[in-house]
Structure 1
Amino acid sequence: MNEKQKKSKSKFLSYVLRHHPEIINLNLDENGWANVDELITTSKRDSYEGFTFEELDEIVQTNAKKRFAFNEDKTRIRASQGHSIDINLALIPQQPPEFLYHGTAQSNIESILEKGIEKRDRQHVHLSQDKETATSVGMRHGKPIILTIKTGEMFENGIEFYLSDNGVWLTDFVNSIYISR
């Protein structure tokens, strides 16, 4: 599989596992896990050639953002975070570092500083451990702006945080009082 094919298949996998499993009649359990054999079978539809196990394995192993994970025996697969569908990732609340970062576009700053960071159609707000990752996230939406989030203070005030399997920090909402530019 060349890089262009891998990117295309990774995007489709993300779309299916995070947002719309129904488009290929794929069943996810309450924790977002899909049966690998079922995914391989159901992903072959219309003009889309689907996935082989080897392709799925390569996507999971080489995805720089570690967006996907297999269970121990590689019979089930799921997206690590970023779902817009209702699933329970069974994450355990954890104490975050003192500061985390959020990358966004310049066009969003006024709203964020007024209303905070909302999860919108996702299950959580995503925060990065480093400015570089936040910058790459912000670049997807235009000129990137990196916000520093006072996560230590949020945690002290009773706000829960979770660490996804791929190192993304998650929370339900970031009030603007915890945000600095």
Structure 2
Amino acid sequence: MDERRTVKTSKRLSRLLRHDPGAFGLTLDEGGWVAVDALLAAFAERGNRLSRRDLDHVVETNNKRRFAYSEDGRRIRANQGHTVAVDLGLSATEPPAVLYHGTADRTLPAILAEGLRPMSRQDVHLSADVATAVKVGSRHGRPAVLRVAAAELAATGHEFRLSANGVWLTDTVPPGYLTRHDLG
């Protein structure tokens, strides 16, 4: 599978497993899982040739580790980023002292005034390092990085969860726990 096809397939999987499973006639279970056989059949019905080997390649080589197989390998889901309602079954986890959020520079005034909200997604996404936050922010324009006082927020009873691919998830971050991180 060449790189162009891998990226195209990954984007299509993201759409189906995070946002619009109905586009291919799929239904996610409450945990966000769908049977691999059903997914491959849905691709085939629409003239999109995708073998299990190709799917394995996309899952294994995705640089953001967006997808995961169930323990028995018969189901697949996105690790986070859903706009459709799913329960990933992630337990509350004590976060590190500081987490980071990458965004576009133009959104900073609103975020610093209102805090971080999930917008169309189920959760706010945070990273453990500045480099990842910069990459995320760069997708939306000139990047800006916010420093999140995660441990301080968690001490108030606020819940954090860690996805299978290392993305920290939470429902909101109030503005008092945010500061702009200087990118130098």
Once the 2 structures are TM-superposed, how far is the Cα of residue 73 of structure 1 from its aligned partner?
Answer: 2.0
Equivalent residue, structure 2, for 1:90: 89
Q: Distance in 2 between matches of 1:142 and 1:135?
A: 11
Q: Does 1:161 align with 2:160?
A: yes
Amino acid at match of 1:154: L
Kindly tell me the number of residue pairs found equivalent between the two proteins: 180
2:50 is aligned to: 51
Question: What is the distance in 2 between the residues matched to 1:139 and 1:50?
Answer: 32
The aligned counterpart of 1:74 is 73
**Cα distance in 2 for residues equivalent to 1:87 and 1:72:** 19
Q: Deviations over 1:112-148 (max 9, x none)?
A: 0110011011010000000000000000000000110
Equivalent positions of 1:1-181 (< 5 A) are 1-46=1-46, 48-181=47-180
**TM superposition shift of 1:77:** 0.2
Q: Which residue identity is paired with 1:79? A: A
* Cα drift, residue 49 of structure 1: 1.1
Return the alpha-carbon distance in structure 2 between the equivalents of residues 134 and 32 of structure 1: 25
Point out where structure 1 has 5 or more consecutive residues left out of the alignment.
Answer: none
Which one-letter code corresponds to 1:145 in the other structure?
A: A
Equivalent-residue separation in structure 2 for 1:7 and 1:45 (angstroms): 21
- Per-residue CA distance 1:61-104 (angstroms, 9 max, x = gap): 11111000001221000000000000100010000000000000
**How far, CA to CA, are the matches of 2:138 and 2:5 in structure 1?**
23
- In structure 2, distance between residues paired with 1:72 and 1:94: 22
**Percent pairwise identity:** 46
* CA apart distance, 1:45: 4.1
The letter of the residue matching 1:73 is D
Distance in structure 2 (CA, Å) of the matches to 1:69 and 1:180: 33
Q: After the TM superposition, which parts of structure 1 deviate over 6 Å for at least 4 consecutive aligned residues?
A: none
Question: Per-residue deviation at 1:51?
Answer: 2.1
